[in-house]
Amino acid sequence: MTTEKAPLWTSDEIAKATSGVASTEFSVFGVTFDSREVEPGDLFIALSGEATDGHRFLEQAYASKAWGAVVSQDTPHPHVRVADTMAALEELGGAARARTDAKIIGVTGSVGKTGTKEALFAALDRCDPGRAHRSVKSYNNHTGVPLSLSRMPADTRFGIFEMGMNHAGELSALTRLVRPHVAIVTAIAPAHTAFFKDESAIADAKGEIFQGLEPGGTAIIPFDSPHRDRLIAAARPHAESIVTFGFGEGADVRAVEKMRMSAGGTFVTARLGEREVSYTISQPGDHWISNSLAILAAVDAVGGDLASAGLALADFGGLPGRGARFLAKVGDGDALVIDESYNANPSSMRATLAVLGAEKDRRKLVVLGEMRELGEHSDAYHAELSAPIGEASVSRAILVGPGMAPLASALEGRIDFVHVATAAEARDRLMAELAPGDAVLIKGSNAVGLSAVVAALAGTK
């Protein structure tokens, strides 16, 4: 016996949620605001912004077999007409949140939020296959969060949503839309410091996630963070339960043993109150152990199965741009590539350099792009990377972008390096120098474009 998949939204439901008027009856099975991503059966929301107007791409969306659209202008195709399409997206996301009985988890942090969100989804999907939902990619801003909510089926059991911010006040608005039962802060680190006076201000902005907690909600906070008490104070007015995670004595969810595995992952024994759980993390590095502890805390808080979560962590692979590993063909052999090209800040740079340093019996190279949005302390943050580069026993460094000039000065006379202006130059240098048996870490702010270097090594470009 087979059953047809229920539609995600009907035109009547969309019209009711957005105070709009439907031109005709229709149903949709997905939602997008990017005409390039339209799949058959989708709803296309024609957002109007400063750079472009989604109404210009209506014909393209329908040609790709969108079954309906949310518009504020005339179109002969099936649609729901509204006054403001951005407001309609938020209202549709709010309606999706209101109609579900799912346990909702919000994830934020300076580093690790996307990986934690994806691993948490894998863990909860393993607990109840097909009943978990999460935001895709890094859709974590004022458009991405309501879009991710609007895509959540009504019968979802677990919803996991990443929330990001560049300025104070942004998370406050997002978390009130998501209304999580559990709110996680993965870590606080220098990121977007151009918009904050100091790291404490970043902690305050991240702590806004607790403002949207549902009654009886749980706040999950990094125990080892110097901002732990600040985050606890931010959570206390909104959370019924506050759970800390980390390595230090006193953490509610604590790693009591860790052992690096020959395949590169880590075997961990964690204590949750009176319980102990042993599991393997496929991804190397203490930062991933920390992420896994937050994941266990969240799974426990929403009533998921910890044993299933442990199995999911063992199977969870690296994400493209965020720790994915592969062997690149080099001459008669291959080289290990660690792809961290999506983003970078001082904390994540140190963490991934430590992962590279743990690689045995390999010559170690790095392609490091400048770290953006670090404000007046940018030069110091870049120069300070010389210490973890030395600790990782890096033999050759390729530095990319003008922001790397302070690091180049700090490395002078210490290791072999070259400073180039563009990702294309870095690619050409690396392709000429990489040898069989090498290990190379590629990491930088996304705007530097180091994903092109990864693509060249993978043979996709």
Query: Tens digit of pLDDT for each residue in 313-369?
Result: 999 987 888 888 999 999 899 999 999 998 888 988 998 999 999 888 889 999 999
Same domain assignment for residues 251 and 386:
no
Indicate the number of domains in the chain.
3
The pLDDT value recorded for residue 166 is: 78
Same domain assignment for residues 239 and 134:
yes
Alpha-carbon distance 20 to 31, whole Å?
A: 17
Same domain assignment for residues 450 and 376:
yes
- 4 domain-assigned: no
More confident residue, 262 or 66: 66
More confident residue, 233 or 136: 233
Same domain assignment for residues 372 and 252:
no
Same domain assignment for residues 137 and 247:
yes
Cα Rg of the chain (Å, integer): 23
Query: Tens digit of pLDDT for each residue in 51-90?
Result: 789 999 999 999 999 999 999 999 999 999 999 999 999 9
- 378 domain-assigned: yes
Q: Within 10 A of 176 (CB to CB), how many other CB atoms are there?
A: 13
- 1 domain-assigned: no
Query: Tens digit of pLDDT for each residue in 4-34?
Result: 789 999 999 999 999 999 999 999 999 999 9
Last residue of a domain, one of 57, 88, 119: 88
Indicate the pTM of the whole model: 0.83
In this structure, what CATH number is given to the domain that contains residue 349? Answer: 3.90.190.20
The pLDDT value recorded for residue 347 is: 87
Same domain assignment for residues 236 and 188:
yes
Same domain assignment for residues 126 and 242:
yes
- Beta carbons within 8 Å of 130's beta carbon, 6+ residues apart: none
Same domain assignment for residues 62 and 208:
no
Examine the pLDDT at 2 and tell me if it is beyond 70. no
- 95 domain-assigned: no
Examine the pLDDT at 124 and tell me if it is beyond 80. yes
In this structure, what CATH number is given to the domain that contains residue 299? Answer: 3.40.1190.10
Q: How confident is the model at residue 460 (pLDDT cuts 50, 70, 90)?
A: low
- 404 domain-assigned: yes
Q: How confident is the model at residue 138 (pLDDT cuts 50, 70, 90)?
A: confident
Using the CB atoms, write b or e for 83-118: b if 16+ within 10 Å: eebbebbbbbbbbbbeebebbbbbbbbbbbbbbbbb
Query: Per this entry, what is the length of the chain?
Result: 461
Same domain assignment for residues 255 and 382:
no
Average pLDDT over residues 168-176: 94
Percent of the chain with pLDDT over 90: 82
Whether 44 contacts 35, CB under 8 Å: yes
Same domain assignment for residues 157 and 284:
yes
Q: How confident is the model at residue 442 (pLDDT cuts 50, 70, 90)?
A: very high
- Beta carbons within 8 Å of 166's beta carbon, 6+ residues apart: 192, 195, 373
- 302 domain-assigned: yes
Nearest partner of 458 among 365, 338, 350, judged by Cα: 338
- 332 domain-assigned: yes
Average pLDDT over residues 117-127: 95
Percent of the chain with pLDDT over 70: 97
Average pLDDT over residues 244-272: 92
CA atoms within 13 A on the CB side of 375: 12
What average pLDDT does the chain have?
93
The token pair that represents 339 in the structure block? 């792809």
Q: Within 10 A of 326 (CB to CB), how many other CB atoms are there?
A: 15
Alpha-carbon distance 73 to 56, whole Å?
A: 10
The token pair that represents 146 in the structure block? 């309501």
Same domain assignment for residues 104 and 69:
no
The pLDDT value recorded for residue 194 is: 60
In this structure, what CATH number is given to the domain that contains residue 17? Answer: 3.40.1390.10
Last residue of a domain, one of 88, 117, 147: 88
> What is the span of the domain harbouring residue 65?
9-88
Last residue of a domain, one of 251, 280, 315: 315
Whether 158 contacts 129, CB under 8 Å: no
Same domain assignment for residues 147 and 279:
yes
- 280 domain-assigned: yes
Average pLDDT over residues 392-408: 96
Examine the pLDDT at 1 and tell me if it is beyond 50. no
Question: Checking DSSP bridges between strand 42-45 and strand 30-32, what pairing results, if any?
Answer: parallel
Examine the pLDDT at 39 and tell me if it is beyond 50. yes
The pLDDT value recorded for residue 376 is: 85
Average pLDDT over residues 271-275: 93
